[in-house]
């Protein structure tokens, strides 16, 4: 009865690695508010693309709101998991009504020709037939079997809910981080193109200097080399952007060939969870509403209740069988049939003696399975605690890295402007290599900033889903 409990609980723990599986529109709304410095709209329909765009591959306006919504509604694996939950709920409803007896209407016929033995053992030769047509009501109520069916049906419901939670968590986090990666790639392309433009300006200026001073020709070669390397970097970033677009389309259940019109103008740091509060507050939220917690708690309650019920008074209850039939009965010798009404009723009460023999062994097995679920539950809580601490530390570190990257950009921008001014004003000691080095440092600083923001946003998303901030919106 409880043989699947430990197996499911292990699968339930997988969901911690991915976290979150619910309507996350409040988080995305906060993100949009930060992007545009204004209050976001309140109608969810404005976040979703028209259905015809989803089917035909028309360029789709997309934002973090859209990603989080479609990841739950359109992803194929999530939809299949949701259908399996509905199927399990149907089985549970059927199991709860299994006490209803079976009702049959029909006819039956019997014919005998040849030898038969009488009550004294003598062989007789006879020829007769009979027929019956009417209503038959039959049923069997085995208390233990009914309980097993109900527990198995409820266990399957919790198992499918856990699988849905795992897939939702995985898809939500994967889709949202892919979208953040897409924003980072497109922002990186913009940075790379701007660097290319500055390198071309530097190349033109260096060419003019080389016409006057042939010794500057080596500088021209250096700038051309750097420009080529920058062009290769731009191509790689475009490839990364296309790969992120294709993966995102798959995760959202959209046309693989569709194009996205990104509504969010640029990649910026988002704040979904207040990390200034004590870490134990975040841990408490995760242990109360985090992914997988309610599913495994429901499974634990189910198997414990089944164990207590099955080995209480129910264990001594007999199986009850009942059969009632009424209809027209025809019988007679040879080929003659005489008809009359017939009513039959029977009831049986049976105890399975093997149940008493194996009861101690089954009770021990049930206790062991429950203990496995308890251990898995404690392990889940430990993993949630670890995940919250890791995500929070990553956010705190990300804030520091973003601040340092911003300073790095300011210093690099100032250095580039000073070097460029020295070159154009023909200050003694100026060189194109000096400007080239400053430009290289500036580009690296800007890409470093994008990477820091990308990692910070991913940590925010992970923590947001870990603490179950949107759990109540889904259930």
* Domain range list for the chain: 5-103+143-318+355-474
Kindly report, residue by residue over 341-358, the tens digit of the pLDDT: 888 888 888 777 776 666
Q: 337, 376, 424: which is closest to 129 by C-alpha?
A: 337
| pLDDT, mean of residues 83-109 | 77
Q: CA-CA distance, 369 to 114, in Å (whole number)?
A: 59
Question: Cα(221)–Cα(209) distance, rounded to whole angstroms?
Answer: 13
Q: Where does residue 471 rank: exposed (0-12), middle (13-18), buried (19+ CB within 10 A)?
A: buried
Please, what is the average pLDDT of the chain?
Answer: 79
**302: Cβ–Cβ under 8 A, 6 or more apart, which residues?**
151, 154, 155, 158
Confidence at residue 398, expressed as pLDDT on a 0 to 100 scale: 93
Distances (CA, A) of 102 to 105, 151, 191: 10, 22, 73
- Distance (Å, whole) CA 182 – CA 240: 8
| Average of per-residue pLDDT across 219-233 | 91
Q: Which residue has the higher pLDDT, 119 or 34?
A: 119
Rounded (10°) angle between helices 64-73 and 76-96: 40
Sorted by sequence, the CB contacts under 8 Å of residue 389 that are 6+ apart come out as 279, 283
Return the CATH fold of 5-103+143-318+355-474: Outer membrane efflux proteins (OEP) (1.20.1600)
pLDDT of residue 455: 94
Tens digit of each residue's pLDDT (9 = 90 or more) over 239-292: 999 999 999 999 988 887 788 888 887 889 988 888 888 888 889 888 888 887
> What mean pLDDT comes out for the span 294-309?
78
How many residues belong to the chain?
475
Q: What is the reported pTM? A: 0.72
- pLDDT at 89 (0 to 100): 87
Say if strands 338-350 and 123-142 run parallel, antiparallel, or are unpaired. unpaired
Query: Quick one: pLDDT at residue 32?
Result: 40
- DSSP code of residue 121: S
3-state secondary structure of 320: strand
DSSP 470: T
Q: What's the rounded mean pLDDT across residues 14-30?
A: 37
Q: Which residues pair with 102 in a beta bridge?
A: 138
**What does 242-277 look like in DSSP terms, one character per residue?**
HHHHHHHHHHTT--TT--EEE-S-S------S-TTS
């Amino acid at each position: 009865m409880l043989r699947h409990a430990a197996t499911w609980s292990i699968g339930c723990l997988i969901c911690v690695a991915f976290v979150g599986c619910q309507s996350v529109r409040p988080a995305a709304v906060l993100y949009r508010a930060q992007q545009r410095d204004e209050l976001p709209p309140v109608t969810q329909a404005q976040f979703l693309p028209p259905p015809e765009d989803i089917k035909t591959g028309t360029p789709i306006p997309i934002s973090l709101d859209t990603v989080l919504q479609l990841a739950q509604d359109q992803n194929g694996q999530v939809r299949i998991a949701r259908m399996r939950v509905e199927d399990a709920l149907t089985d549970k409803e059927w199991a709860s009504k299994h006490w209803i007896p079976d009702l049959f209407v029909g006819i039956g016929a019997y014919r005998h020709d040849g030898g038969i033995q009488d009550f004294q053992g003598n062989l007789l030769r006879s020829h007769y037939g009979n027929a019956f047509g009417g209503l038959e009501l039959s049923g069997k109520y085995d208390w233990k079997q009914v309980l097993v069916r109900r527990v198995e049906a409820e266990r399957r419901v919790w198992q499918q809910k856990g699988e849905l939670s795992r897939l939702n968590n995985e898809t939500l986090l994967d889709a949202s981080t892919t979208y953040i990666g897409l924003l980072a790639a497109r922002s990186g392309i913009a940075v790379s193109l701007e660097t290319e433009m500055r390198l071309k300006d530097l190349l033109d200026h260096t060419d003019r200097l080389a016409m006057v001073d042939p010794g500057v020709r080596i500088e021209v070669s250096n700038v051309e080399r750097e420009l080529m390397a920058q062009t290769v970097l731009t191509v790689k970033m475009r490839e990364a952007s296309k790969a992120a677009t294709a993966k995102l389309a798959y995760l959202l259940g959209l046309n693989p060939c569709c194009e996205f019109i990104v509504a969010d103008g640029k990649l910026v740091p988002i704040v979904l969870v207040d990390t200034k509060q004590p870490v134990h507050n975040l841990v408490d939220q995760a242990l109360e509403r985090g992914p997988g917690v309610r599913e495994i708690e429901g499974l634990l309650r189910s198997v414990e209740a089944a164990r207590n019920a099955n080995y209480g008074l129910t264990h001594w209850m007999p199986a009850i069988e009942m059969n009632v039939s009424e209809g027209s009965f025809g019988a007679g010798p040879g080929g003659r049939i005489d008809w009359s009404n017939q009513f039959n009723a029977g009831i049986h009460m049976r105890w399975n003696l093997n149940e008493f023999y194996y009861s101690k062994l089954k009770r021990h097995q049930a206790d062991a399975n429950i203990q496995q679920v308890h251990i898995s539950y404690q392990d889940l809580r430990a993993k949630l605690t670890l995940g919250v601490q890791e995500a929070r530390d990553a956010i705190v570190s990300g804030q520091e890295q973003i601040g340092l990257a911003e300073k790095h950009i300011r210093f690099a921008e100032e250095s580039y402007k000073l070097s460029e001014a020295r070159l154009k004003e023909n200050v003694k000691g100026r060189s194109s290599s000096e400007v080239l080095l400053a430009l290289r440092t500036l580009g690296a600083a800007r890409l470093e900033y994008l990477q820091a923001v990308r990692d910070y946003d991913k940590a925010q998303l992970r923590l947001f889903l870990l603490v179950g901030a949107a759990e109540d919106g889904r259930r």
